[in-house]
Amino acid sequence: MIIEDDDGQVQDIHDVFSLQRNHFQPEQVGLTLAEAKGTLHGIQERVVHHQVDDYLQAQRCCSTCGKPRRQKGTHPLVYRTLFGTLRLDSLRLYHCRCQQHGPRSFSPLAQLLAERTAPELLYLETKWAALIPYRATSELLAEVLPLEHAVRTSVLHHHVHKVAQRMEGELGEERYLFITPDEHEEQSLPDPAPPLIVGLDGGYVHSCDQPNRQEGWFEVIVGKSITPEGDTKCVAFLHKRDSKPKRRLFELLKSQGVHANQPVTFLSGGGETVRNLQLYLNPLGEHLLDWFHLAMKLTVMGQRNKGMQKVEARDLITDVATQLDSLKHHLWNGNITQALRLIDSLQLLLKDDTMSLERKKLLKTVREFGGYIATNQQFIPDYGDRYRNEETITTSFVESAVNQVVSKRFVKAQQMRWSQHGAHLLLQIRTHVLNKDLRARFQQWYPGMAAESEPEMQVAA
**Interacting residue ranges for Zn ion, rule: CB under 5 A:** 62, 64-65, 96, 98
The CB-of-65 to Zn ion minimum distance in angstroms stands at 3
From the CB of 64, what's the least distance to Zn ion, in Å? 4
Distance CA 147, CA 41 (A): 8
Minimum Å gap between C-beta 108 and Zn ion is: 15
What residues does 23 pair with on adjacent strands?
none
In whole angstroms, give the CA distance from residue 108 to residue 21.
45
Cβ contacts of residue 59 below 8 Å, gap of 6+? 69, 91, 93, 108
Kindly tell me which of 70 and 259 has the beta carbon lying closer to Zn ion: 70
Cβ closest to Zn ion, residue 101 vs residue 310:
101
In contact, 461 and 429? CB cutoff 8 Å: no
Nearer to Zn ion, 14 or 95 (CB): 95
CB of 51 to Zn ion, least distance (A): 25
Q: Find out whether 407 and 301 touch, Cβ atoms under 8 Å.
A: no
Q: CB-wise, 77 or 96, nearer to Zn ion?
A: 96
DSSP state of 260: T
Integer Cα distance of 182 and 261 in angstroms:
11
Cβ atoms of residues 174 and 248 within 8 Å:
no
| Closer residue to Zn ion (CB): 62 or 440 | 62
Q: How far is the CB of 66 from Zn ion (least distance, A)?
A: 7
CB of 454 to Zn ion, least distance (A): 47
67, 74, 87, 122, 151 from 80: Cα distances, Å: 33, 19, 9, 9, 10
- Contact present, 205 and 408 (Cβ < 8 Å): no
61 vs 321, beta carbon nearer Zn ion: 61
Contact 228, 195 (CB under 8 A): yes
Closest distance of CB 63 from Zn ion, Å:
8
Measured from the CB atom, is 60 or 75 closer to Zn ion?
60
Beta strands in 175-231 (DSSP E): 196-206, 217-226
268 and 201 Cβ atoms separated by less than 8 Å:
yes
Q: Give the residue with the Cβ less far from Zn ion, 47 or 96.
A: 96
Q: Which is nearer to Zn ion, 96 or 155 (CB)?
A: 96
Q: Could you give the CA distance from residue 400 to residue 412 in angstroms, rounded to a whole number? A: 14
- Could you tell me if 16 and 43 are in contact, meaning their C-beta atoms sit under 8 angstroms apart? yes
Q: Which is nearer to Zn ion, 97 or 213 (CB)?
A: 97
In which element (H, E) is residue 254 found? helix 245-255
In the complex, the smallest distance separating the C-beta of residue 60 from Zn ion, rounded to whole angstroms, is 12
**Which residues lie closer than 8 Å to 237 by C-beta, 6 or more apart?**
220, 221, 245, 248, 424, 427, 428
Q: Rounded to whole angstroms, what are the CA distances from 432 to 1, 254, 405, 408, 429?
A: 38, 14, 10, 16, 5
Smallest distance from Zn ion to CB 98, Å: 3
> Do 154 and 125 touch, CB atoms closer than 8 A?
no
Handedness of CA 191, 249, 170, 428 (dihedral sign): negative
Q: Compute the least distance from the CB of residue 69 to Zn ion, in Å.
A: 8
61 versus 295: smaller Cβ distance to Zn ion? 61
At closest approach, how far in Å is the CB of 73 from Zn ion? Answer: 20
